[in-house]
Amino acid sequence: MYQKLKAYISELESGFDSIPTSRKEELKKTADYIHSKLEDHKTAKLNFICTHNSRRSHLAQIWTAVAASQYGIGNVETFSGGTEATAFNPRAVAALERAGFRVENPGGDNPEYQVYFHEKAEPLTCFSKTFDDPLNPQKEFAAVMTCSDADENCPFVPGAEFRIPITYRDPKESDGTEQETDIYDERCKQIAAEMFYMMSLVN
């Protein structure tokens, strides 16, 4: 794993105690779902869903995949989608780069970013799509709702066998302000810490 990212993760793990109890309860429910799938020798598929699949859902997908790798948890696959497709927002991508990821941007209106976290690991391909895109699981998966709008406006996710709201405040509200970088870094770190905490409970 890249050194900068390794240091970032070490800091996250030392701050698990600061995660509110109510959040830990929801994260544990998701960890229990993952654990039950693995106990049955099945693949745990997690689809993180927000409205535009541009910020929070991507961050949750990426950090969960990295946490699974870090803790040696196999048979976990992460996905993300929206109620509509836009593009993976470059501000969220920049926050990942500041955390220590290496990201390749091929360009285009909806770039298929290649997100690297380890010299020997395959990159994660991340781009905006709807939650029911053919590339996402169609049955026997967990729908993790990362924004309240998607949770309220999408009461039924076809094929999901487990659904849970783990929502985050949208960093988009800071776009174009002096606080933009700080807010994106704060949200990236919050999501990272909670996804790492969740995955630490699986084993």
> Per-residue b/e over 181-198, b at no fewer than 16 CB within 10 Å?
eebbeebbbbbbbbbbbb
Mean pLDDT (the chain, rounded): 95
Residue 105: Cβ within 10 Å count? 12
Contact 70, 76 (CB under 8 A): no
pLDDT at residue number 137: 97
pLDDT at residue number 152: 76
The mean pLDDT of 167-182, rounded to a whole number, is 96
pLDDT surpasses 90 at 191: yes
Structure tokens at 121: 């690991």
Residues of the chain with pLDDT > 90, as a percent, come to 93
pLDDT surpasses 90 at 156: no
Residue 127: Cβ within 10 Å count? 18
Contact 168, 192 (CB under 8 A): no
Contact 99, 192 (CB under 8 A): yes
Contact 33, 142 (CB under 8 A): yes
Sheet holding 76-82, edge to edge: 76-82, 44-50, 141-145, 160-165
pTM attached to this predicted model = 0.96
All structural domains of the chain with their residue ranges: 3-15+23-200
Of 110-114, 119-123, 127-131, the range with the lowest mean pLDDT is 119-123
- Residue 140 Rama label (left phi>0; alpha psi -120 to 50; beta): left
The mean pLDDT of 125-147, rounded to a whole number, is 96
pLDDT surpasses 90 at 151: no
Euclidean distance between CA atoms 55 and 90, whole angstroms:
9
The mean pLDDT of 75-99, rounded to a whole number, is 97
What kind of architecture, by CATH, is found in domain 3-15+23-200? 3-Layer(aba) Sandwich (3.40)
Q: Is residue 163 very low, low, confident or very high in pLDDT (cuts 50, 70, 90)?
A: very high
pLDDT digits (tens, 9 = 90+) for 29-80: 999 999 999 999 999 999 999 999 999 999 999 999 999 999 999 999 999 9
The mean pLDDT of 111-123, rounded to a whole number, is 95
pLDDT at residue number 5: 97
